[in-house]
Chain A
Amino acid sequence: MIGLSGILFFVAFGVYAVSALLYIARITLRRSSAKNFTLADKLGDWGFWLCTAGVVAQAAGIVFRWVGSGVVPMSNMYEYMSFLGWSVMLFFVLISYWYKLPGLGAFVAPVGVIMIAYASVFPTEVKPLVPVLQSFWLPLHVSTAALGEGAFAVSFGAALMYLLRIRKDGALSAFEEKMLEFIGFSATVLVGFVVVALGSKWTGYQAILTNSGNGAQSLKYTLPPLVGPVGSVAGEGSLFGMDLPLFIAPGWMNGANAGKQFNTLIWAILVGAVIYFILRILVGPLRELGSKAVMGMNAKLLDEVSYRGIAVGFPLFTLGGLVFAMIWAQKAWGAYWSWDPKETWALISWLFYSGYLHMRIVRGWEGRPAAWVSAAGFPLILFTLVGVNLLISGLHSYAAG
């Protein structure tokens, strides 16, 4: 059962990746010449059906894993991230169907693909649940929150498309132009992060470094240590004969894992920057590329789709991220709210999105300003999910995988 579920996961992943490529090919073809419209739209239809099939396959995979292990598959990072990827794809399929907007695929499908690739970085074995996680509020809390986040991801894609669309009308300030390009760059850094993580998993690279940070004596690096933890010395690790670490983390980074996380961040930025500059040389600024992709689309429609993603996701996120979370915390710890960093960041995201919703009812704030909030909202969600685990620890640190 669990083996089958693993196969279905990879099938779904492959299918999503192909469909994302099809969507990108569709847009590219449509931009090349009117002759290609029929072929392009055929590719778009294929993309849609593949995506739908992937969603079904992955759903089956999730159910099989559940049945096979007897534990709701919502308790470690692998399960959680792949569920999140599934929910992004699910809402993408739904919303692009409602609005007959295949153009969304070129922007949202890759988000789902990256998420699932990231999920596969984590160990996939089923681990028995520690006592605090043995509650049916856990899967309820996690899955509902993830569904809401999936819808937010679709809104994020549509908001970006909206901004890229209106920038052609000269609606954006120089600063906003820079921000758009920065979002593009950040996306390549995320890709870099996933590439680096997968690379370290596949090559099995390891280096043991001395660590005088809090808590541990030595630290296992799974990436070549450009930055060593406080206390390490050059030569403890190496890459192609080069003595590593090149330099040591600054003294204030004295968390047990701080040096290692800093190293991961540097690798992600390096790889991301390389990808970014290759793209930049090949196709020019990413925002230009994006604008070309959304050329001719209806800005009002994109705006509505972006709003719809949040309108669908907000109730789900409210239930999953706050209501169920509070009930569970009360049952497990006897405190419905303890200002734990993860909790607080969920609240921050929720306040942020409720800010968005209220902006929609203020004249003059409902278009471009709101789109920026939606575009910033999903990175905020990602930070809550991944960043908080890496950078701030707390009660939820089980999720660090």
Chain B
Amino acid sequence: MDEQVVTEETTAPEPEKPSKDFLDRTWDFFASVPVAVVLLFIVAAASVAGTLVPQEGMYSDWRTPSEFYPFRYGAFWGNLLWKTGMTRMYTSWWFMGLLFMVGASLIICSLERFIPLWKAVQRPNIAPPSSFVKHLKNRFEYKPVAGAEALAPLAAALKSAHYTVVQKDGRIYADKGRWGRWGPYILHIGLIFILVGAMVRVFPGAYMDQFIWVQDGEIAKVPGANWFVRNDKFTLETYENGQPKAYKTQAVIIEADGTESKEHTISMNLPLQHKWIELYQSSYKNEVGTAVVSLTDRATKQQIGTFTLDLHQPETAYKVGAYTVKINEYFPDFGLEGGKPVSRSSQVNNPGAVLEVIGPDGKAYKNWYFVAYPEMEFDPTTPVTLGTEEVTERYTTGLKVKKDLGIPVIWFGLIVVSLSVCVTFYLPHRRYWALVEDGRVFVGGWTNRNQTSFGDEMNRLANRIDPKNNPLQTVVEGEER
């Protein structure tokens, strides 16, 4: 940046007060760009530390944090890391403190410089001292054609290059790309929106991160909401090589009054959104669902018939033709404990049942039946044998339930940041001043970015107005490139 313009434009003239109180000094501290630079580097360094120490909840070990860190780093260092919050870096009070300081610095620095900059950009000094114009780094002179209006060709050329041209008292001021100067300020505002958006979650009810399992065909209450979700069907698609291709849940939203208000297929990257809550496809599990059981006459080996046994909630009895099958006992996860049959869990892992088959003659026979091992009979003399024809699978989808009222604020901040960062760097502010002295026109220019291409523009401009005195420069002679 050109020094003179810096002093003219962006430094707030601040008379040194004899004594400053604490507040003033704090303000000055945060108003300083060097302080901001140092803060940015400190936040960067602190973030590095957080990726080197495995963070709580991220390490793969069964130990609790208070045991894990001393185990991993030795008693002294482990406890030090844990006590100072290095192990939950990004939520620790001092990381928050740093971010808070960055925010303060951002706001105060911007406030401090905004008004002087506003004046300099929106109400520029059209007639600065001629020495100012003549000492700008980018400048040229031309000799006006006798009898013509001296500044007219320059004004015309600048206008055709889309400059805003002000002509007053024999002076020209022209500029373009003013928005480029506001870019950093808008960018900082965008960053503040992002910080604020991230903090919204501290308000009660603004944030929720839960998880639900919903079996195919089942309805589950969505935590934190007064509506429900039904999983019509979970599908797992795979590529030919067996690699997963898609996880999908056909979901239906059911309101408290029972109406179905929305249908959506949730898949990776396509969450379902309903009333500020989003449901994300995040896991699944796969269990046996039903078994088709066949009854066969032991003597003739003729099949008598089949029935479909629900392995999650079996009926008490099934009818197969003239036969009745009663479920006397059911163990979804069969095992033996002290010689006694038990169900190790309520999951359908190894379903086993004691069935009572009642024939047309009214006689009843009891036998064990295991879905996975139908040949394991305890009584090989019953007139009817049991077999497993088919086992269907039942999927359970795992949905992440997420609510974050800060998201719209974050999105807005991201849009602002995206636009303003482009404006800041791709829209240079370019300004020209011109004055007539001793029958010559002196033109000076200034830009905040891309000095070289501005120099080229100026050179072409000068050459267009007065080719004789301003030859087109190509490569700088005598300089190594």
The answer to whether A and B belong to the same complex is yes
Interface residues of A, Cβ cutoff 8 Å to B: 30, 98-103, 127-128, 130-132, 134-135, 137, 214, 294-298, 301, 304, 308, 311-312, 314-315, 318-319, 323, 326-328, 330-337, 339, 341, 344-345, 347-348, 351-352, 354-355, 358-359, 361-363, 365, 388, 392
Residues of chain B contacted by A334 (CB below 8 angstroms): 209, 271, 278, 280, 282, 400, 402
Bound: A348/B280 CA distance, A: 29
Is B450 interfacial (CB 8 A cutoff)? yes
The complex places the Cα of A351 from the Cα of B191 at a distance, in Å, of 12
B145 at the interface (CB under 8 A from A): no
* In the complex with contacts A315-B424, A332-B269, A359-B37, A130-B452 CB distance below 8 A: no
Distance of A134 Cα from B401 Cα, bound (Å): 21
Give the CA-CA distance A319 to B419 in the complex, in Å.
9
Separation of A154 and B475 alpha carbons in the complex (Å): 21
Which residues on the B side are within 8 Å of A332 (C-beta)? 268-269
CB of B104, distance to nearest CB on chain A (Å): 15
Q: How far is the CB of A302 from chain B (nearest CB, A)?
A: 10
Q: Are B51 and A103 in contact (CB under 8 A)?
A: no
B407 touches A336 (CB 8 A): yes
Name the 10 nearest CB pairs between A and B, nearest first.
A296-B480, A131-B268, A351-B44, A135-B269, A334-B280, A334-B402, A355-B40, A315-B421, A341-B51, A128-B239
The distance in angstroms between the C-alpha atoms of A131 and B280, with both chains bound, is 13
Q: Tell me whether A330 and B407 are in contact in the complex, defined as CB-CB below 8 angstroms, given that A130-B243, A362-B37 are known contacts.
A: yes
Interface string of B92-120 (1 = CB under 8 A from A): 00000000000000000000000000000
B246 within 8 A of A: yes
| CB contact list, B240-292 vs A, under 8 A | 241, 243-247, 267-271, 278, 280, 282
Quick one: which of B41, B268, B278 contacts A132, CB cutoff 8 A? B268
How far apart sit A361 and B6, CA to CA, in the bound complex (Å)? 9
Asked if B129 is at the interface (CB within 8 A of a chain A CB), the reply is no
How many residues of chain B get a CB closer than 8 Å to chain A's CBs? 60
Out of A101, A296, A337, A392, name the residue touching B51 (CB < 8 Å).
A392
B37 and A131: CB pair below 8 A?
no
Q: Are A319 and B421 in contact (CB under 8 A)?
A: yes
A358 touches B33 (CB 8 A): yes
Per-residue CB contact flags for chain B residues 389-403 toward chain A (1 = under 8 Å, else 0) read 000000000001010
Determine the distance from Cα of A140 to Cα of B239 in the docked complex, in whole angstroms. 24
Smallest CB–CB gap between B29 and chain A, Å? 15
Stretch in B312-320, B410-418, B435-443 with 4+ CB within 8 Å of A: B410-418
B161 interface hit (Cβ, 8 Å): no
CB atoms of A358 and B278 under 8 A apart: no
- 8 Å CB contacts to A: which residues of B50-87? 50-52, 55, 60
- Chain B residue nearest in CB terms to A301: B452
State the CA gap A31–B246 with chains docked (Å): 60
Report how far A76 CA is from B234 CA in the complex, Å.
28
**Chain B 417-433: CB-based contact to A (< 8 A → 1; otherwise 0):** 11001101110000000
> Does B47 lie at the interface of the complex (its beta carbon under 8 Å from any beta carbon of A)?
yes
Give complex CA distance A15, B260 in Å: 62
Contacts of B453 in A (CB 8 A): 98
List chain B residues, Cβ under 8 A from A337. 198
| B419 vs chain A, min Cβ distance (A) | 10
Closest B residue by C-beta to A347: B47
The distance in angstroms between the C-alpha atoms of A131 and B241, with both chains bound, is: 14
* Complex interface: chain A residues within 8 A of B271 (CB): 331, 334
Chain B 200-220, CB-CB to A under 8 Å as 1, else 0, gives 000000000100000000000
Prevailing SS type, chain A contact patch: helix
A104 to B73, CA, bound (A): 46
A296→B407 CA distance, assembly (Å): 54
Q: A319-B422, A361-B1, A361-B33 are in contact. List 11 more A-B contacts (CB 8 A).
A: A295-B480, A296-B479, A297-B480, A298-B476, A318-B421, A327-B414, A334-B282, A339-B50, A344-B51, A359-B37, A388-B51
Please, how many angstroms separate the alpha-carbon atoms of A298 and B479 in the complex? 7
Q: How near does chain B come to A343, taking the closest CB pair, in angstroms?
A: 9
A340 to chain B, nearest CB (A): 9
The answer to whether the Cβ of B43 comes within 8 Å of any Cβ in the partner chain is yes
Complex alpha-carbon distance, A226 and B50, angstroms: 31
CA distance A362 to B247 in the complex (A): 52
Q: Residues 123-149 of chain B: 1 if any A CB is under 8 Å from the residue's CB, otherwise 0?
A: 000000000000000000000000000
Contact A214 B33 (CB under 8 A): no
Nearest-Cβ distance from residue A132 to partner chain B, whole angstroms: 5
Report yes or no: B90 in contact with A339, Cβ–Cβ below 8 A.
yes
Distance from A57 Cβ to chain B, minimum over Cβ atoms (Å): 26
Nearest CB of A to B91, in Å: 9
Is there an interface contact between B44 and A365, defined as CB atoms closer than 8 Å?
Answer: no
Bound CA–CA A355/B40 (angstroms):
6
**A358 contacts B36, C-beta separation under 8 Å:** yes
Would B410 and A351 count as touching, CB distance under 8 A?
Answer: no
Is B246 in contact with A131, judged by CB distance below 8 angstroms?
A: yes
Q: For the complex formed, measure the closest distance between the CB of A374 and the CB atoms of chain B, giving whole angstroms.
A: 14
By the criterion CB–CB under 8 Å, are B245 and A131 in contact? yes
A318 B480 Cβ-Cβ under 8 A: no
Chain B residues contacting A311 (CB-CB under 8 Å) are 425, 449-450
Contacts of A347 in B (CB 8 A): 44, 47
Which of the residues B60, B410, B424, B452 comes within 8 Å of A336, measured between beta carbons? Answer: B410
B422 is contacted by which of A295, A297, A315, A344 (Cβ under 8 Å)? Answer: A315
Q: List 20 A-B contacts (CB under 8 A).
A: A98-B452, A100-B481, A131-B246, A131-B247, A132-B269, A214-B60, A297-B479, A312-B425, A319-B422, A331-B271, A333-B280, A335-B209, A336-B407, A339-B90, A344-B51, A351-B41, A358-B33, A358-B40, A361-B1, A362-B37
| Residue among A132, A297, A351, A388 having the largest count of chain B Cβ atoms under 10 Å | A351
Instruction: Check if A362 sits within 8 Å of B426, measured CB to CB.
Output: no
Question: B269 and A318: CB pair below 8 A?
Answer: no
B268 touches A102 (CB 8 A): no
Determine which of B244, B411, B414 lies in contact with A130 in the assembled complex, contact meaning CB atoms within 8 Å.
B244
CB <8 Å contact, B278 and A314: no
Pick the residue among A319, A326, A333 that contacts B410 (CB under 8 A).
Answer: A326
Tell me the complex Cα distance, A296–B37, Å.
32
